[in-house]
Amino acid sequence: MIQVLDKSFEVFITKDEIQQEISSLAAKINDDYSDKDLVFLSVLNGAFMFTSDLMKNITLDCEVSFVKMSSYSGVESRGRVDELIGLGDNIAGKDIIIVEDIVDTGITIDKIISLLEPEGAASVKVCTLLYKPDAFKGTKRPDYIGFSIPNAFVVGYGLDYDEKGRNLDTIYQIREQKKQRNSMLNIVLFGPPGAGKGTQSERLIEQYGLIHLSTGDIFRANIKEETELGVLAKTYIDKGQLVPDEVTINMLKAEVAKHESPKGFIFDGFPRTIAQAEALDVFLKSVGTSITSMISLDVSEDELKVRLANRAKTSGRPDDANPDVIQNRIDVYKKETAPVKNYYESQDKWVMINGLGTIDEITTRLFAAVDAL
């Protein structure tokens, strides 16, 4: 995936595919024009790369010229006047192939053909690398077509997006607009101890501009600041009881209210039960949004144990070092998350990410999953 200005593009036609297609286009032209007096008219700017590669495969004794369409306001006439800049006097009686990078609506090519008419060419044909049949409204379908492509914006290999991207050796297609989510990206992130949830959530936050809502952090901050809710939560915690969902949700509400037009939230450590998930849904609905997805990082138990044992060597955390404690944490995680996972899965909102591999590999998978939401 690449970024050109404000848009993301993905690989659409590789450089090998382009070169292969160009060599077969050239072979056809070599065949068709073996006994002709041929002039290639390459239309700038977009066709410069295609023309260059095409010419390397043309074995005919031919000429190559470059033209540019220009449209200006006439002094006397009303409306716009089109002009073909760079057209020499080498056209009359010759066979012309106009070389285009892309024929989209076909308007440009129709204009070029009409501007060539007075020049008295023996024949005029069109060779284009790309053709968008669904967008085409012109009168002359190109005679030589490299690729017929869907009606989606492409960039690279001479084609630009706002003058950028022409130098790319591959053709990229614009990424489909994401489904219109209710404008916010709200993720519930799950991962067993050792799955790398902390690192990955930091990356998600940075990439998507999200706000991290960890219920553990919120409790601690509220208790420290002795907010009304914090004082209330502490009464339960001090008695060794779970803080009631209502109190937790109210803390989350207060936290969410602190942010003006947020891009979205990552919920970390919450919800842990179906009741909490339902309460979260009700709350988010009341502020006009919803959970976009629950994402869980999937790592096998054996791998988790290896990772935690390794972490223990450097973290000094006693809970990482004891195999019984590790097993217990994994068991608690599985027991806790299973019902919540089922809750989101039944709403078609559960996404599992393979949590094996390097941190970067996992991030790539995670971003791809989020982009597809």
Q: Which of 7, 175, 305, 311 is catalytic?
A: 311
Answer yes or no whether residue 108 interacts with ligand IMP by CB under 6 A: yes
Distance between CA atoms of residues 148 and 162, nearest Å: 23
Toward ligand IMP, which CB reaches closer, 159 or 184? 159
Active-site annotation holds for 317: yes
Toward ligand IMP, which CB reaches closer, 27 or 107? 107
- Please identify which residue in 1, 81, 107, 287 interacts with ligand IMP, judged by CB under 6 A: 107
Toward ligand IMP, which CB reaches closer, 104 or 245? 104
Distance between CA atoms of residues 147 and 13, nearest Å: 9
Residues listed for the chain = 373
Answer yes or no whether residue 5 interacts with ligand IMP by CB under 6 A: no
- Using an 8 Å Cβ cutoff, are 122 and 116 in contact? no
Q: Which of 15, 140, 263, 272 is catalytic?
A: 272
Toward ligand IMP, which CB reaches closer, 101 or 268? 101
Toward ligand IMP, which CB reaches closer, 106 or 193? 106
- Specify the pairing of strand 265-268 against strand 211-214: parallel
Answer yes or no whether residue 102 interacts with ligand IMP by CB under 6 A: yes
Peptide bond into 186 cis (omega under 30): no
Answer yes or no whether residue 106 interacts with ligand IMP by CB under 6 A: yes
Distance between CA atoms of residues 80 and 368, nearest Å: 45
Q: Which of 28, 68, 80, 317 is catalytic?
A: 317
Q: Which of 125, 197, 307, 365 is catalytic?
A: 197
Q: Of residues 39-58, which lie at the interface with ligand IMP (CB under 6 A)? A: 46
Answer yes or no whether residue 191 interacts with ligand IMP by CB under 6 A: no
Beta-bridge partner residues of 212 = 266
Active-site annotation holds for 197: yes
Active-site annotation holds for 311: yes
Active-site annotation holds for 329: yes
Binding mask 124-163 for ligand IMP (x = CB under 6 A): -----------------------------xxx---x----
- Please identify which residue in 22, 54, 103, 195 interacts with ligand IMP, judged by CB under 6 A: 103
Count of chain residues binding ligand IMP (CB under 6 A): 12
Q: Which amino acids are annotated catalytic?
A: 197, 272, 311, 317, 329
Footprint of ligand IMP on this chain (CB under 6 A)? 46, 102-108, 153-155, 159
